[in-house]
Amino acid sequence: MLRHYEGLAVAEVAEVLEIAPGTVKAALHHALAKLADRLRDLR
């Protein structure tokens, strides 16, 4: 949510959450994939 709603960069999200940028990228990837799957199911 920080990335999309607050417009923060991956590095900024990582800093706020005190996690590695790669972890942020992986979490975003999984969340967007899950959202895509659920939206696909609505069709």
C-beta neighbour count of 30 within 10 angstroms = 10
pTM for this entry:
0.83
Domain that residue 24 falls in? 2-41
Domains identified in the chain, total number: 1
**Sign (positive/negative) of CA torsion 12, 15, 17, 21?**
positive
Q: 1-43: per-residue pLDDT in tens?
A: 788 888 999 999 999 999 999 999 999 999 999 999 999 988 8
pLDDT reported for residue 23: 97
Cα–chain center distance at 30: 7
How many helices, marked H, and strands, marked E, lie in the chain? 3, 0
